[in-house]
Chain A
Amino acid sequence: MPQEPSPQQIAEQTIYREMGLNPDEYNRIVELLGRQPNYTETGIFAVMWSEHCSYKNSKPLLKLFPTEGPQVLQGPGEGAGIVDIGDGWAVVFKVESHNHPTAVEPYQGAATGVGGILRDIFSMGARPIALMNSLRFGTLDKAHNRYLLSHAVSGIAAYGNCIGVPTVGGEVFLETCYDENPLVNVFCLGIVKHDQIQHGKASGLGNPVLYLGNATGRDGIHGATFASEELSEGSASKRPAVQVGDPFAGKRLLEACLEIYQTGAVVSVQDMGAAGLTCSSTEMGFKGQTGIDLNLDKVPKRAESMTAYEIMLSESQERMLFVIEKGRESEVQKICDKWELPNAIVGEVTNNQHLSLFQDGQQVANLPLDACCELTPVYQREAHPPEKETLPKSSSPEKEPKNYLEVLKQLLVHPNISDKSWVYQQYDSMVGTRTAQGPGGDAAVIILEECQKALAISMDGNSRYVVLDPYLGGLITVAEAARNVVCAGARPLALTDGLNYGSPEKPEIFWQMQESVRGMAEACEFLSLPVTGGNVSLYNESRGEAIYPTPIIGMVGLIENLNHITPSNFQSLGDQIWLLGETFAELGGSCYQEISSGRIFGNAPKLELDREKNLQEAVLVAIESGLVSSAHDLSLGGLAVALVKASTESFTASVSFESALRADEFLFSESQSRILLSIPNQFSALLQSIMSERKIPSLLIGEVVSDQFRISFNDELLIQDQIQSLKACWRDGFRDYFTKT
Chain B
Amino acid sequence: MHCAVLVFPGSNCDVDLYKAILQIKGATAEYVWHTDTDLDRFDVLLIPGGFTYGDYLRPGALAGVSPVIASVKKAANSGKLVLGICNGFQILIEAGLLPGALLPNQSLQFICDVVPVKVVQSKSPFTSSYNHGDLLRLPIAHGSGNYYCDEVTHQELESNGQIAFSFPPENNPNGSLAGITGLLNEQRNVLGMMPHPERAVKQWLGSTDGLRLFQSMLEHHTA
A binding-site residues for B, Cβ under 8 Å: 154, 157-158, 161-164, 246-249, 251-252, 255, 339-340, 424-433, 435-436, 447, 562, 565
Contacts and interface: CB of A to CB of B under 8 A. Distances in A.
A725 to B, nearest CB: 19
Contacts of A249: 54
11 contacts: A162-B12, A163-B12, A247-B51, A248-B10, A251-B10, A252-B10, A425-B111, A427-B110, A430-B141, A433-B199, A433-B205
Given A157-B110, A247-B54, A251-B51, A431 B12 contact: yes
Contacts of B219: none
B53 interface: yes
Interface in B153-167: none
B139 interface: yes
Contacts of B204: 436, 447, 562, 565
Interface string B103-143: 00000011111000000000000000000000000010101
B188 interface: no
B11 to A, nearest CB: 8
B15 interface: yes
Contacts of B201: 433
Nearest to A421: B113
A491 to B, nearest CB: 19
Contacts of B9: 248, 251-252, 255, 339-340
Interface residues of B, number: 31
Given A164-B50, A431-B16, A433-B19, A426 B109 contact: yes
A436 B202 CA distance: 10
Contact of A427 (B10, B12, B55, B112): B112
Contact of B15 (A339, A432, A436): A432
Interface string B152-194: 0000000000000000000000000000000000000000000
Nearest to B9: A252
Contacts of A255: 9
B109 A161 contact: no
Nearest to A739: B107
Contacts of B11: 164
A639 B11 CA distance: 45
B209 interface: no
Most chain A Cβ neighbours within 10 Å, of B139, B198, B201 = B139
B89 to A, nearest CB: 16
Contacts of B141: 161, 428, 430-431
A164 B110 contact: no
Given A426-B111, A433-B199, A248 B13 contact: no
Contact of B112 (A246, A248, A251, A428): A428
A426 B10 contact: no
Interface string B185-223: 000000000001011011011000000000000000000
A430 B15 CA distance: 13
A431 B205 CA distance: 11
Contacts of A430: 112, 139, 141, 196, 199, 205
Given A164-B50, A251-B51, A429 B12 contact: no
Nearest to A340: B9
B95 to A, nearest CB: 20
Nearest to B17: A433
Contact of B16 (A154, A251, A432): A432
A154 B143 CA distance: 11
B86 to A, nearest CB: 10
A262 to B, nearest CB: 15
A562 B202 CA distance: 13
A164 B110 CA distance: 14
Nearest to A424: B112
Contacts of A424: 112
Contacts of A154: 109
A425 B10 contact: no
B51 A433 contact: no
B204 to A, nearest CB: 5
A161 B113 CA distance: 13
A536 B153 CA distance: 57
A433 B16 contact: yes
Given A429-B112, A431-B141, A248 B12 contact: no
Nearest to B54: A248
Contact of B12 (A157, A164, A435, A562): A164
Contacts of B55: 162, 248
A174 B21 CA distance: 44
Contacts of A158: 110
Nearest to B35: A338
A162 B10 contact: yes
Contacts of B12: 162-164, 251, 431
Contacts of B199: 430-431, 433
B110 A248 contact: no
B16 A436 contact: no
Nearest to A435: B205
A154 to B, nearest CB: 8
